[in-house]
């Protein structure tokens, strides 16, 4: 075990740097947003836009996160396919010997589920991890026509 993950600098600043330790000066500040990688499988590519939009709206997604998000989408696609097979054939199937055995799709679904859960936590997409992630959420104007009014004055 490596111990606790380091607290993001932005979160330390919000908390007032309670440990009073020096903050890193050269922490990377990647551009917001991320482009979907071309190598995503078709099922993972279908899932990308929804998750990317949610993370971008929360101010968490940066261009450096594209690979991690792609891995999450691939794990989701793998889990979805394997889970559909478990639902279709059951969690227990007959082996060639005739004895009941655990479906191989169940093991695939369980492994993909573990991978997805770890990546969800990294992006702050679980209730408990959400409180540990900070972002630069975009706040919409109260009135969508406010820019028009300002420009006409």
4 belongs to a structural domain: no
Can you state the angle between helices 66-89 and 104-122, rounded to 10 degrees? 150
Find out whether 57 and 90 touch, Cβ atoms under 8 Å.
no
Residues 6+ apart with CB under 8 A from 15: none
Give dist(CA 120, CA 130) in Å, integer.
10
Give residue 103's domain range. Answer: 9-17+39-134
143 belongs to a structural domain: no
**Residue-level pLDDT, tens digit, the chain, 153 residues:** 567 766 666 556 656 777 788 877 777 777 888 899 999 999 999 999 999 999 888 888 888 889 999 999 999 999 999 999 999 999 999 999 999 999 999 999 999 999 999 999 888 887 777 666 555 545 445 555 555 555 554
Give dist(CA 72, CA 94) in Å, integer.
32
Report the predicted TM-score, pTM, of the whole model to 2 decimal places. 0.71
pLDDT at 139: 47
23 belongs to a structural domain: no
Task: Look at the chain and report how many structural domains it folds into.
Answer: 1
């Amino acid at each position: 075990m490596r111990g606790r993950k380091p607290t993001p600098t932005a979160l330390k600043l919000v908390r007032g740097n309670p440990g009073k330790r020096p903050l890193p000066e050269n922490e990377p500040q990647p551009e917001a947003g991320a482009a979907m990688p071309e190598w995503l499988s078709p099922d993972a590519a279908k899932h990308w836009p929804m998750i990317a939009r949610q993370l971008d709206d929360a101010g968490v997604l940066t261009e450096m996160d594209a690979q991690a998000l792609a891995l999450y989408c691939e794990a989701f696609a793998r889990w979805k396919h394997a889970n559909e097979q478990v639902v279709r054939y059951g969690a227990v199937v007959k082996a060639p010997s005739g004895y009941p055995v655990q479906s191989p799709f169940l093991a695939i679904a369980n492994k993909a589920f573990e991978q997805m859960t770890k990546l969800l936590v990294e992006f702050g997409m679980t209730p408990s991890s959400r409180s540990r992630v900070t972002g630069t959420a975009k706040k919409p104007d109260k009135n969508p026509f406010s820019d028009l009014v300002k420009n006409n004055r």
